[in-house]
């Protein structure tokens, strides 16, 4: 065999090995895809599990494994990408779709278009967070739309959330260090309980959903002694942790949620007694409270120095910077946005550098995704509000409970959006779209079996 024949044989054998390797690789990819699809479409475990363990996963925010495009990758990021992938499979192959699913897809499409046109590492990071949370809209209602499953999820979620609440009290007691410190007007610093999360706001995001869930379970007549004990423990821990977060907007939001819950049940005496208790505490601790809210009262007294950029603890200056950045984008950017929450502006005596926290979610969405994004977002919140009202008026106790939980949570998100960015944080966006998914998957009409026989019209009575 001459050299030419040897070369041909070696080349043929190499091509054969390459073909076999490519075949095995293709088979492995196809098999892996089939397994992912099977797991995604089963839905029974991973949806509820990922929602329940989220408070614990967020405690690992320091565990950074590596960086991708200047963004750290930790367990939070891995879980977010994983659930977005699994939820995406259900969107493509699932047969049942909740109401308003097209509007949700349009919101994701508008956000994606904004990031594609103006790509940035920060914009991609925010987009992945948005996808991971919003994608639960297509799956959570399928898994948690039954009362028994939802009740089990609610209690497991509240039990898990007790862990960061206890850690918050450990911070207050000095057993654990504070992660976040705040400057007081007199120049002193105060440690703020956060449950060892990076910021107290992350604990508030959990509580705006947990408090209505706890109220819902407390109203259930069939709960046992163990569940009642857990609810009492959670309520005490949540109240103490909430106080020591020193999160002023969080205090207001939780108070509004409690008042709204009792108002929806016409329990006005509880609202009056609760309001009186808050008023007494405000008088007793008036000096302390006035110090915490000093930046806000300056606005009404005319003492705020707008030129310094420090009014409303600097938030006002952030709002001006982001609105200026948005206005400088031109007509096209006014429609589609700038793809991310980074404002690069130069305002004399206010900002002369890039800022990535507008401290207002409406402004953030307007800046990142334009009028198209903010209009779609507001229209979705309006649709979810209609769903909550519809269910709250139902004769079915479970639907009424879902309606109240969603209504209180929506109000909490809307209020927090004035000074924070709930939709930028997975904690807030996940559970909002989970509750909305449950409400939108529930049938519009109440099954006859859900209405007590005595309450049915005579024409619908059996026989």
Say whether both 276 and 359 belong to one domain.
no
* Weakest-pLDDT range from 85-89, 344-348, 382-386, 419-423: 344-348
Residues 348 and 426 in one domain: yes
> Which of 251, 279, 306 is where one domain is finished?
306
CA distance 161 to 164: 6
What's the pLDDT band for 20 if we cut at 50, 70, 90?
Answer: low
Average pLDDT of span 340-348: 73
Residue 88 lies in a domain: yes
Closest CA to 215 of 143, 138, 136, 274: 274
Instruction: Give residue-wise pLDDT tens across range 395-454.
Output: 899 999 999 999 999 999 999 999 899 998 888 899 999 999 999 999 865 443 444 444
Q: 121 in a domain, yes or no?
A: yes
Residues 32 and 46 in one domain: yes
According to the model, what pLDDT value does residue 215 have? 95
345 and 284 part of one domain: no
SS3 443: coil
Asked whether residue 294 falls in the same domain as residue 319, the answer is: no
Is residue 404, in this structure, part of any structural domain at all? yes
Is the pLDDT assigned to residue 141 strictly greater than 60? yes
d(CA 21, CA 23): 5
DSSP E strand stretches across 146-263: 180-183, 189-192
Backbone φ and ψ of 358, nearest 5° = -75, -15
Are 46 and 28 within 8 A, CB to CB?
Answer: no
Instruction: Evaluate whether 402 touches 408 at the Cβ level (below 8 Å).
Output: no
| pLDDT for 445 | 53
Please give the pLDDT value at position 384: 96
Same domain membership, residue 364 and residue 343: yes
What is the predicted pLDDT for the residue at 160?
96
Share of the chain above pLDDT 90, in %: 48
- Asked whether residue 291 is domain-assigned, the answer is yes
User: For position 131, what pLDDT does the model report?
Assistant: 94
Cα angle 389, 395, 400; round to 5: 45
Calpha distance 153→44 (Å, rounded): 12
Ramachandran angles phi, psi of 71, nearest 5°: -115, 130
Whether pLDDT at 106 is above 80:
yes
If asked whether residues 193 and 326 sit together in one domain, one would say: yes
Q: Are 385 and 352 in contact (CB under 8 A)?
A: no
Residue 8 located in a structural domain: no
Q: Does residue 458 belong to any structural domain of this protein?
A: no
185 in a structural domain: yes
Domain identity same for 203 and 247: yes
Which carries the bigger pLDDT value, residue 19 or residue 190? 190
Question: Are residues 296 and 218 part of one domain?
Answer: no
Chain centroid to Cα 290, Å, comes to 30
Query: Which residue shows structure tokens 């690992």?
Result: 60
Same structural domain, 291 and 361: no
251 with 274, same domain: the answer is no
- Name the nearest CA neighbour of 201 among 357, 9, 379: 357
DSSP output for 255-293: HHHHHHHHHHTT-HHHHHHHHHHHHHHHHHTHHHHHHHT
- Cα 298–chain centre separation: 31
**Is 58 within the bounds of a domain?**
yes
Does residue 437 sit in helix, strand or coil? helix
What is the number of helices (H) and of strands (E) in the chain? 18, 6
The tens digit of pLDDT for each residue in 226-254 reads 899 999 999 999 999 999 998 888 999 99
Q: Would you tell me the crossing angle of helices 46-57 and 426-441 to the nearest 10 degrees?
A: 150
Q: What is the mean pLDDT of residues 112-131?
A: 91
User: How many domains does the chain divide into?
Assistant: 2
For 88-108, b where at least 16 C-beta lie within 10 A, e where not — what string? bbbbeeeeebbbbeeebbbbb
Per-residue b/e over 287-302, b at no fewer than 16 CB within 10 Å? eeeeebeebeebeeee
Kindly report, residue by residue over 167-189, the tens digit of the pLDDT.
999 999 999 999 998 876 666 78
Q: Tokens 């909740």 — which residue?
A: 98
Domain residue limits at 289: 270-306
> How many angstroms separate the CA atoms of 442 and 440, rounded?
6
Residues in the chain: 463
pLDDT higher than 50, residue 225: yes
Strands 354-355 and 66-68: unpaired
Give the model's confidence band at 371: pLDDT under 50 very low, under 70 low, under 90 confident, else very high: very high
208 touches 413 (CB < 8 A): yes
What is the pLDDT of the chain when averaged over all its residues?
Answer: 81
- Structural tokens at position 95: 């047969």
* Poorest-pLDDT segment among 98-112, 263-277, 440-454: 440-454
3-state secondary structure of 207: helix
User: Is the domain of 323 the same as that of 191?
Assistant: yes
Q: How confident is residue 2, by pLDDT bands cut at 50, 70 and 90?
A: low
């Amino acid at each position: 065999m001459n050299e030419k024949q040897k070369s041909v044989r070696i080349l043929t054998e190499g091509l054969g090995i390459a073909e076999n390797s490519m075949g095995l690789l293709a088979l492995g990819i196809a098999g892996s895809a089939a397994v992912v699809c099977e797991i995604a479409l089963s839905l029974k475990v991973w949806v509820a599990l990922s929602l329940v363990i989220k408070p614990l996963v967020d405690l690992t925010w320091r565990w950074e494994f590596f960086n991708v495009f200047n963004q750290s990758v930790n367990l939070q990021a891995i879980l977010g990408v994983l659930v977005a992938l699994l939820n995406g499979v259900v969107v493509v192959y699932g047969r049942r779709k909740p109401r308003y699913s097209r509007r949700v897809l349009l919101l994701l499409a508008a956000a994606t278009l904004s990031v594609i046109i103006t790509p940035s590492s920060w914009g991609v990071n925010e987009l992945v967070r948005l996808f991971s949370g919003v994608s639960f809209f297509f799956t959570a209602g399928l898994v948690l739309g039954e009362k028994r499953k939802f009740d089990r999820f609610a209690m497991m979620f509240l039990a898990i959330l007790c862990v960061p609440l206890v850690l918050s009290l450990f911070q207050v007691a000095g057993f654990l260090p504070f992660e976040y410190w705040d400057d007081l007007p007199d120049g002193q610093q105060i440690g703020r309980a956060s449950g060892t999360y990076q910021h107290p706001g992350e604990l508030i995001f959990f509580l705006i959903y947990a408090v209505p869930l706890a109220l819902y379970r407390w109203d259930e007549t069939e709960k046992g002694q163990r569940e009642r004990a857990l609810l009492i423990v959670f309520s005490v821990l949540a109240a103490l942790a909430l106080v020591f977060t020193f999160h002023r907007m969080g205090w207001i939001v939780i108070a509004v949620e409690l008042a709204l819950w009792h108002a929806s049940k016409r329990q006005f005496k509880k609202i009056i007694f609760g309001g009186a208790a808050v008023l007494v505490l405000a008088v007793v601790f008036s000096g302390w409270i006035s110090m915490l809210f000093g930046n806000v009262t300056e606005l009404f007294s005319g003492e705020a120095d707008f030129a310094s950029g420090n009014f409303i603890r600097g938030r006002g200056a952030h709002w001006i910077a982001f609105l200026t950045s948005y206005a400088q984008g031109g007509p096209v950017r006014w429609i589609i946005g700038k793809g991310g929450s980074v404002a690069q502006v130069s305002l004399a005596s206010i900002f002369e550098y890039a800022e990535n926290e507008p401290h207002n979610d409406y402004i953030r969405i307007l800046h990142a995704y334009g009028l198209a994004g903010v209009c779609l977002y507001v229209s979705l919140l309006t649709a979810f509000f209609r769903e909550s009202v519809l269910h709250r008026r139902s004769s079915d106790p479970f639907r009424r409970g879902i309606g109240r939980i969603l209504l209180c949570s929506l109000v909490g998100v809307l209020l927090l959006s004035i000074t924070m960015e709930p939709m930028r944080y997975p904690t807030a966006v996940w559970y909002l779209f989970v509750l909305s998914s449950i409400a939108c998957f529930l049938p519009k009409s109440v099954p006859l079996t859900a209405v007590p026989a005595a309450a049915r019209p005579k024409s619908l009575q059996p026989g």
